[in-house]
Amino acid sequence: MPANETAPPVKKRGRRARLIVLVLVLALLAGFGYGTYWSMDNVRASFPQATGTLKVPGLTGTVEVKRDSHGIPQLYADNDDDLFRAQGFVHAQDRFWEMDVRRHMTSGRLSEMFGSGQVETDAFLRTLGWRQVAQAEYDTKLSAETKKYLQAYADGVNAYLKGKSGKDLSVEHATLKLSDDYRPEQWTPVDSVAWLKAMAWDLRGNMQDEIDRALMSNKLTQAQIDELYPPYPFDRNKAIVDGGKIDGGKYTPQGGGAAAGSTGTGSGKGSGSAAGSQASTTGSQASTTGSQPSPTGLADDTTAQGATVGLRNSLTSLAKTLDKVPAILGPNGSGIGSNSWVVSGQYTTTGKPLLANDPHLSPQLPSVWYQMGLHCRAVSNQCKYDLAGYTFSGMPGVVIGHNADIAWGMTNLGADVTDLYLEQVKPEGYVYDNKVVPFTTREEVIKIAGGTSKKITVRTTNNGPLISDRSEELGTVGSRAPVSSSAPDRGNGYAVALRWTALDPGKSMDAVFALDRAKDFAGFRAAARDFEVPSQNLIYADTKGNIGYQAPGRIPMRGSGDGRMPAPGWDSKYAWKGGKDGNAGYIPQDEMPYDYNPARGYIVTANQAVVESGTGAGKYPYVLTTDWGYGARSQRINDLIEAKIKDNGKISTDDMRTMQMDNSSEIAALLTPMLAKIEVSDPDVRSAQKLLEGWNYTQEPDSAAAAYFNAVWRNILKLSFGDKMPKELRIEGSCMNVREESGGPVDDLAKTVRECGTRDSDSAQPDGGDRWFEVVRRLVKDEKSAWWQTPAARNQPATATRDQLFARAMKDARWELTAKLGKDQSTWSWGRLHQLTLKNQTIGTEGPGFMQWLLNRGPWNLGGGEATVNATGWNASSGYGVTWVPSMRMIVNLSDLDKSRWINLTGASGHAYHDNYYDQTDMWAKGELLDWPFGKEAVDKATAETLTLKP
């Protein structure tokens, strides 16, 4: 039966919200063509009931939903099933549009909602088979208890959906003309599990780097590519773990405190790393197995040098396809990541640990996160949970947060869990060890709203699905792929397969619930064992004073090759270890790095290297990846903590918040002194140069110096690297004249052709992330490097040295900012360039212009920047607009959980005209945090509305 309700009081709405609703109603009544009568009631129809009483079928007892003034709910129940059933109900109340889009996306069914424009995306996602893998996980891997929770959650969602039409669910559903005949499908447990695949996709590691390196080989030498992917600077930027060893099949931290699982205080002194753990000064990332990649773009130049044309065409088309796949969590790129750190009670004002976390993800409206508390009135075997934190709508449990005993945070480990394989294909199958093996195939039917269904065939090899099948261009790539005598006969040509750990069924959903109820470090590590995909840095603190870290994840061990370049799929030497049956070997969980109560008294994870791989004392024998973040953010956090400790200071919650908002630019500190010394004759450029004098390298939103420096940095990257990139990596629409024979930029138009970039703005190179910091740091020592050499253009002379290129970049930046911000430098500010606009999911991005205006919010002028702790990222190839952000911020106080603090990017509600749609955004932009009540007394004090759910 549908949920029954007692008449609740209508929540008052703000003046701005009323005006927006009025504009929407007038616009729609004025005849924008949506063909249905709109009124205030239509707009408000989907607002959730937040007070009074509702009957929810399936409940065995009452559940209280207590919301504070920001709409953040805290749920109280007497058993686990009721708790998760209520969570599903409340998620659907606030975020069902988001949930509905997510499940259509993960199952490759966006075309059913949005029509033919999503067919290509759906075909690619069907090829990956997220939904099939999620179903296999549910059927064969997950525990009976987890399945019970997933079903209870689904029952709660369905109880909310029963009897509702499109307009009752959201304005977006009504806008799609779904209000008359649309009835949402029943939510299923597999819908929830499939969301983990979207998480894994956006956090998949170095796949984009693998593609980019192969495409660079069309235009750059291997030596040049190596300069653009320098080794990690272990001598300068600390790894997460100081060092350790594997003995008897188990990893043991080096220089740590008490044994894992004990209740030590974590009060050891000292902040230096253990002897020998940072011994390497070269930071070599070479794999201990396999050969170095060759200029051909394949892992071994003796196998198929002639296949590079086919590979390049395949990867170019693949890159275009990847750009169209929704980046739910954020764009891939160097510099994107997250911050988390924990400080022992020895160095805090509270005497117990403080833990901070701020994942950097794609800005969305509503935010990808949903704040919530899940409380058993009395914790027992029937009701095991008492926690609060950040959840994903559409999935039960809490992903990041704390319970009554422990707190945890996450950052992306960045492990190399994907490999691309160039497959040699024939009509009857693919070549593997000189034999033709039949494809595994399945048929998929894509239903299209307002159109005819499309059928596709998915072909899979033992290295994974052929993702290159999703392009007509790639269907004939083999005819253009010359093959060396050492490669197999090409038959119908070449294709590209994807091997990815997330395509093997796993138990990550089990791990979520295990984390939620863990009581100590031993329980935390046990939960982490099952957090297989995506591989995350898990940071830990508990109320007894312990701090810790665990690197979990399903990370493959390779045969030949190191995963940096696409490999020849026809050679079993390059398969993941485990044999021809496709069962890969992974690094044993007992041998994954961890740390517990380290002597230095703190742990920082910000996507830097986990540990230094190699042989010798303090080095790790396995290769987790060769594409770490380069440590700009992590080392800044380390330095801030160490400076406080060195001054015998104690770190407070507010100190942690201040660190989260740190805007210091590492690349500005390196380059600004050089830029200040360059002789400039143009008075306008000289006046801009003066902005850098005395600047402290912080990127505040009102800083003119930050605006000018970042414009100079962008132009340095364009001149020295961007214009030398192959068109496949340059931003779409960026056109230049190149020599027909060499591809290099020239000024002589008579001997050139026009060549335009093809890459999406979020993934174009150089993106300006901390990899590029490291590239430039190494190159500035060589004032005559070939990278500083540029041809004459636009009445500008050619450059032959570093300072000549820097001078040209300073001039170009001056006139760029004049065009964007005006000639008067007193009006310049970084925030005017560096703006955040929050876009409503799907319709707010690609819908009619007036709907985008009504659903989206912003802009906000932000500080921070690329690879700073306050990581408001931007892609230097495409402009200054914000492309990823700290999607939430939290600081957990393990001395008094009620004194913890948190903030979300937007708000609790997914309903565009609700008071809680984006009510946290202004505070978030200023670096402010909300109180985070946890105990019942604190929650009751903060409660503004109470809804009682009854059987």
Tokens of 559: 């045969």
Per-residue pLDDT tens over the stretch 586-596: 999 999 999 99
- What does residue 930 show for φ and ψ, rounded to 5 degrees? -90, 155
The rounded distance, in Å, linking the Cα atoms of 887 and 905 is: 5
> Are β-strands 901-904 and 63-67 bridged in parallel, bridged antiparallel, or unpaired?
unpaired
Using alpha carbons only, give the angle 722, 687, 711 rounded to the nearest 5 degrees: 20
Residues sharing a CB contact under 8 Å with residue 893, sequence separation 6 or more, in sequence order: 350, 352, 354, 653, 899, 900, 901
Q: What is the pLDDT of residue 373?
A: 98
Cβ atoms of residues 732 and 758 within 8 Å: yes
What does the DSSP 8-state code read for residue 929? -
The pair phi, psi for residue 745, each rounded to 5°, is -70, 140
Placement of tokens 């080989």 in the chain: 217
Angle made by CA atoms 187, 531, 641, in degrees to the nearest 5: 120
Segments of the chain scoring below 70 in pLDDT = 1-43, 177-182, 205, 255-315, 317-318, 320-336, 471-492, 578-584, 740-751, 844, 846-850
52 three-class SS: strand
Which residue in this structure is represented by tokens 């892609």?
Answer: 875
* C-alpha separations of 566 from 206, 270, 471, 613, 730 in Å: 12, 44, 19, 22, 21
C-alpha 114: how far from its chain's center? 25
* Long-range contacts at 639-648 (CB < 8 A, ≥ 24 apart): 640/869, 641/271, 641/341, 641/343, 641/347, 641/602, 641/604, 642/271, 644/347, 645/271, 645/347, 645/601, 646/271
Q: What is the rounded distance in angstroms from the CA atom of residue 662 to the CA atom of residue 864?
A: 7
Tell me how far apart the alpha carbons of residues 864 and 363 are, in angstroms, rounded to a whole number: 15
Host H or E run for residue 676:
helix 666-677
Q: What is the largest CA-CA distance in the chain?
A: 81
Q: What tokens appear for 523 in the block?
A: 């329980």
For strands 52-55 and 945-950, give the pairing. parallel
Distance, first Cα to last Cα, the chain: 11
676 near 688, Cβ under 8 Å?
no
Q: Could you tell me which of 304, 402, 294 has the C-alpha nearest to residue 357?
A: 402
Return the structure tokens found at 189: 């447990």
Q: Do strands 418-426 and 567-568 pair parallel, antiparallel, or not at all (unpaired)? A: parallel
Would you say 495 and 474 are in contact if contact means Cβ atoms under 8 Å apart?
yes
Identify residue 80 by its one-letter amino acid code.
D
Q: How many helices (H) and strands (E) are present in the chain, helices listed first?
A: 28, 32
Instruction: Give strand pairing partners of 500.
Output: 418
The count of residues in the chain is: 951
User: The tokens 């009544």 sit on which residue?
Assistant: 29
Task: Count CB-CB contacts under 10 A for residue 852.
Answer: 16
pLDDT, residue 229, reads 96
> What's the one-letter identity of residue 528?
A
Q: What is the pLDDT of residue 172?
A: 85
The backbone torsions φ and ψ at residue 195, rounded to the nearest 5 degrees and listed phi first, read -60, -30
H-helix or E-strand containing 26?
A: helix 15-29
pLDDT (0 to 100) of residue 314: 65
Query: What are the backbone dihedrals phi and psi of residue 186, each rounded to the nearest 5 degrees, phi first?
Result: -65, 140
The CA–CA distances, whole Å, from 645 to 270, 422, 870 equal 9, 52, 21
From residue 28, alpha-carbon distances to 35, 853, 890 in Å are 9, 13, 40
3-class state of residue 240 by DSSP: coil
Degrees to nearest 5, angle at CA 565 with 575 and 122 = 80
Tokens 């200054």 appear where? 880
The whole-number pLDDT of residue 287 equals 34
Residues 314, 425: Cα–Cα separation, whole Å: 13
**Bridge partners of 547?**
541
The Cα 445–Cα 451 span in angstroms is 13
